[in-house]
């Protein structure tokens, strides 16, 4: 029963967020904010935080997994990293942690991993099913040792829109969700540049813009205040997207 209700709440939430993008009237958006708040509280208070997103059969995969947003960080640094096969890239995990990490791609790839075939839903109105492979985020956070004050994780990306860096954030319920992975594989190959090489977040119960590509740093913070525009993500700051994009 609860599971079914959860699915229904989630499905209507996704539809409404899509409409928000299309219509964008102030009243309509205010209504959605209330709805989104209920959606998050409903999921959390019913203890649904660890429900799994639907997984598909490999045969249901989309023929191609399109790229969206930035398709390649337009910087000399990224070009250099890519030319070197990302051997010089590092994933930093810092902020409110007891043991800051600087991991090579090989170290990320040696961490406990998971493979999942899931559907990605973008608010612009398209979906794609892909097979993702990557490091489960929880064990990496455990290795870094989150401090008690940590409440959110901020994902810092290597790409920008104008003078703003792309970034995203999630709470610790999503951070330790078993399907939350740092993906370096898509459809049995190394993840293409268009889809976020060398590492992109999969946070499967949230809409597409939460899935940060081109990650270089994960920062544990107590509050999102003062981080970039303060709303927890690039699109939340500039595009009025909801921080909680649960589906």
Ligand X SMILES: Nc1nc2c(c(=O)[nH]1)N[C@H]1C(S)=C(S)[C@@H](COP(=O)(O)O)O[C@H]1N2
Which chain residues interact with ligand X by CB under 6 A?
Answer: 66-70, 122, 157, 159, 166, 194-196, 208-209, 211-214
Cβ neighbors of 79 (< 8 A, separation 6 or more) are none
Q: Which of 152, 209, 214, 241 binds Mo ion (CB under 5 A)?
A: 209
Joined tokens for residue 170:
């999630």
CB of 165 to Mo ion, least distance (A): 17
Instruction: Answer with the entry of Mo ion, ligand X, none that 143 interacts with (C-beta below 5 to 8 A by kind).
Output: none
Nearer to ligand X, 69 or 198 (CB): 69
CB of 32 to ligand X, least distance (A): 18
Nearer to ligand X, 73 or 95 (CB): 73
Cβ neighbors of 92 (< 8 A, separation 6 or more) are 100, 101, 102, 103, 216, 217, 218
CA distances from 146 to 2, 99, 101, 241 (A): 31, 8, 12, 28
Binding segment for Mo ion among 46-54, 122-130, 135-143, 170-178 (CB under 5 A)? Answer: 122-130
Q: Is residue 71 at the binding interface for Mo ion, with CB under 5 A as the rule?
A: no
Instruction: Answer with the entry of Mo ion, ligand X, none that 211 interacts with (C-beta below 5 to 8 A by kind).
Output: ligand X
CB of 125 to ligand X, least distance (A): 10
Nearer to ligand X, 23 or 66 (CB): 66
Cβ neighbors of 101 (< 8 A, separation 6 or more) are 91, 92, 93, 94, 140, 143, 144
CB of 215 to ligand X, least distance (A): 8
What are the DSSP calls for 57-119, one per residue? -GGG--SS----S-SS--SHHHHHHHHTTTTT--EEEEESBSS-EEE-HHHHHHS-EEEEEEE
CB of 68 to ligand X, least distance (A): 4
Strand pairing report for 91-95 and 101-103 = antiparallel
Nearer to ligand X, 146 or 208 (CB): 208
Radius of gyration of the chain (CA): 17
- The residue ranges that bind Mo ion (CB under 5 A) are 122, 208-209
């Amino acid at each position: 029963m609860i599971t079914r209700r959860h699915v229904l709440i989630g499905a209507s939430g996704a539809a409404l967020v899509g409409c928000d993008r299309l219509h964008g009237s102030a009243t309509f958006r205010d209504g959605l904010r209330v709805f989104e708040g209920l959606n998050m509280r409903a999921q959390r208070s019913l203890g649904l935080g660890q429900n799994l997103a639907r997984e598909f059969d490999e045969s249901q995969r989309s023929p191609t997994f399109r790229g969206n947003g930035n398709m390649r960080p337009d910087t000399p640094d990224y070009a250099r990293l890519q030319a070197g096969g990302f051997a010089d890239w590092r994933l930093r995990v810092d902020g409110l942690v007891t043991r800051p990490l600087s991991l090579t791609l090989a170290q990320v790839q040696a961490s406990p991993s998971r493979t999942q075939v899931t559907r990605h839903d973008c608010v612009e109105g398209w979906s794609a099913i892909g097979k993702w492979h990557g490091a489960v985020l929880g064990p990496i956070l455990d290795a870094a040792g989150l401090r008690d004050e940590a409440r959110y994780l901020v994902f810092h990306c290597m790409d920008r829109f104008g003078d703003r860096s792309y970034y995203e954030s999630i709470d610790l319920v999503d951070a330790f969700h078993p399907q939350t992975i740092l993906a370096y594989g898509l459809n049995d190959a190394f993840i293409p540049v268009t889809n976020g090489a060398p590492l992109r977040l999969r946070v499967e119960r949230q809409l597409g813009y939460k899935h940060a590509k081109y990650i270089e740093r994960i920062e544990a913070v107590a509050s999102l205040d003062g981080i970039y525009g303060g709303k927890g993500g690039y699109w939340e700051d500039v595009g009025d997207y909801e921080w909680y994009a649960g589906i």
